[in-house]
């Protein structure tokens, strides 16, 4: 999965780093769901270093930046520090920005086919933080301008005292099985075209296990039993924390698909599955796990 970068180590502890970044530190800049990068022919992802970024790091820009800073320290992986470019407007790199030589704004989705994995994980995690910083420029309670806490990752409102911590959306991925078969789905109207599993967001007031039961009923009209937790995954693409569960169908296995959410939902036999042992998503790992561990699903 994308976050599995051993032996490298991801350090996301809060640090109020104020000294200037080193020339070799890496900067992520976003325009909505596009990020500044270069993908080489073999799939390697390259992001601008502080040295590459010098033309944009001017005092004039810093004075105009509404957040009072052009760069914000995010986290490090081993000794590489990663920064977010905050831009001239609310966290955006301006649309009119002249191109940074050798880089262009590409779809976030590019990260799903790129390497090295630790750098792609850093980029998508930076996207999650970028979206949070951007969306908390102003206080949602009183409309005042938020400030960054100097002691923790939090946006604080000096006017009303509101404190906003990074927001993570919990969601479940569900491997619904019946002996040697698993339900595979395809989503209607999404970028992801491949096979997926049933999935959905936790609603306020329910447990993750209750989300599993509700989503299976809503998406394919089936009841479940024997719900077992598998693993979790931070998924910055959608600002999520994904929690994977396997469960068994209870009673009828006749699918009644929700056509607003899905374009297809079918029972697929183990022998008809092709799975990827090195997939970056929890979904692909769960499909692979079902494929190669028949003894767990007898």
Residues in contact with Zn ion by CB under 5 A are 139, 141-142, 144, 157, 159-160, 162
Give residues with Cβ within 8 angstroms of 120, minimum separation 6: 2, 45, 111, 112, 114, 280
Q: Please state the closest distance from residue 167 (CB atom) to Zn ion, in A.
A: 16
Q: Which is nearer to Zn ion, 144 or 194 (CB)?
A: 144
Give how far the C-alpha of residue 30 lies from the chain's centroid of Cα atoms, to the nearest Å. 14
Q: Which is nearer to Zn ion, 20 or 158 (CB)?
A: 158
Q: Please state the closest distance from residue 131 (CB atom) to Zn ion, in A.
A: 20
Phi-psi region of 91 (alpha: psi -120 to 50; beta: other; left: phi over 0): left
Per-residue tokens: 62: 């810093």
Q: Which is nearer to Zn ion, 138 or 230 (CB)?
A: 138
Q: Please state the closest distance from residue 129 (CB atom) to Zn ion, in A.
A: 21
Q: Are strands 80-85 and 26-28 parallel, antiparallel or unpaired?
A: parallel
Give how far the C-alpha of residue 283 lies from the chain's centroid of Cα atoms, to the nearest Å. 13
Q: Please state the closest distance from residue 239 (CB atom) to Zn ion, in A.
A: 22
Q: Please state the closest distance from residue 117 (CB atom) to Zn ion, in A.
A: 39
Of the candidates 266, 269, 61, which has an alpha carbon nearest to the alpha carbon of residue 184?
266
Q: Which is nearer to Zn ion, 43 or 140 (CB)?
A: 140
How far apart (Å, rounded) are the C-alpha atoms in residues 4 and 41?
24
Q: Please state the closest distance from residue 107 (CB atom) to Zn ion, in A.
A: 34
Please report which helix (H) or strand (E) contains residue 70, including its range.
none
Q: Which is nearer to Zn ion, 141 or 293 (CB)?
A: 141
Of the candidates 236, 22, 6, which has an alpha carbon nearest to the alpha carbon of residue 122?
236
Under DSSP, is residue 172 helix (H, G, I), strand (E, B) or coil? strand
Q: Which is nearer to Zn ion, 43 or 158 (CB)?
A: 158
Give CA angle at 123 (83, 192), nearest 5°: 155
Per-residue tokens: 238: 């959608």
Q: Please state the closest distance from residue 265 (CB atom) to Zn ion, in A.
A: 44
Q: Which is nearer to Zn ion, 161 or 277 (CB)?
A: 161
């Amino acid at each position: 999965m994308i976050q599995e970068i051993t032996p490298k180590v991801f350090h996301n502890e809060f640090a109020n780093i104020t000294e200037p970044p080193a020339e070799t530190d890496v900067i992520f800049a976003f325009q909505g769901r596009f990020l500044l990068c270069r993908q080489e022919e073999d799939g390697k992802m390259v992001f601008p270093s502080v040295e590459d970024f010098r033309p944009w790091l001017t005092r004039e820009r810093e004075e105009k930046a509404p957040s009072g800073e052009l760069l914000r320290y995010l986290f490090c992986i081993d000794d590489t520090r990663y920064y977010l470019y905050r831009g001239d407007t609310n966290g955006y790199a301006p649309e009119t920005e002249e191109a940074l030589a050798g880089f262009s704004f590409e779809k976030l989705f590019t990260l799903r086919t790129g390497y090295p994995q630790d750098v792609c994980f850093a980029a998508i995690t930076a996207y999650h933080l970028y979206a949070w910083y951007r969306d908390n420029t102003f206080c949602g309670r009183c409309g005042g301008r938020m400030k960054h806490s100097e002691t923790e990752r939090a946006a604080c409102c000096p006017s009303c005292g509101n404190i906003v911590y990074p927001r993570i959306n919990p969601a479940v991925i569900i491997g619904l099985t019946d002996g040697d078969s698993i339900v595979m789905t395809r989503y209607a109207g999404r970028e992801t075209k491949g096979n997926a599993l049933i999935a959905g967001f936790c609603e306020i007031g329910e447990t993750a296990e209750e989300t599993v039961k509700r989503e299976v009923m809503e998406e394919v009209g089936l009841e479940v039993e024997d719900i077992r937790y598998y693993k979790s995954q931070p998924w910055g693409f959608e600002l999520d924390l994904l929690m994977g569960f396997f469960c068994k169908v209870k009673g009828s296995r006749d699918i009644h698909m929700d056509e607003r959410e899905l374009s297809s939902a079918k029972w697929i036999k183990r022998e008809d599955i092709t799975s990827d042992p090195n997939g970056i998503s929890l979904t692909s790992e769960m499909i692979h796990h079902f494929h190669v561990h028949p003894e767990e699903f007898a």
